[in-house]
Amino acid sequence: MVKKAKNIPRFSSEAAERKFWEKHDSTPFVDWKQAERVRFTKLKPSTTAISIRLPTDLLEQIKTSANRKDVPYQSLIKLWLAEKMASQAR
């Protein structure tokens, strides 16, 4: 027997809707057979610019390594930092 999804009630305010969803599971309100895959192509990850002082020779080594891998050196630094954080999380 297939259950029909419940109708989502109308809310008088955003606060009332928030209060409702804090106490209710959304599962009975969703019909996954009707769901469609969506891509958020304009969505950009949030980033923060930082300034870091590196010794000139270290920066040159990083740039050389990035050039060999054909990636921007800042992207390589971010990759290395992410890999280090992932290994520390294990």
Q: Spell out, as residue ranges, where the chain has pLDDT lower than 50.
A: none
**SS3 for 46?**
coil
Task: Give pTM, 2 decimals.
Answer: 0.51
Interval 13-33: pLDDT, tens: 999 999 999 999 988 888 888
The one-letter amino acid at 79: L
Compute the chain's Rg from CA coordinates.
24
pLDDT for the residue 11 = 94
Q: Return the DSSP state at 10.
A: P
User: What is the spatial distance between Cα 69 and Cα 78, in angstroms, rounded to a whole number?
Assistant: 14
CB 78 within 8 A of CB 62: no
Burial of 83 (0-12, 13-18, 19+ CB in 10 A): exposed
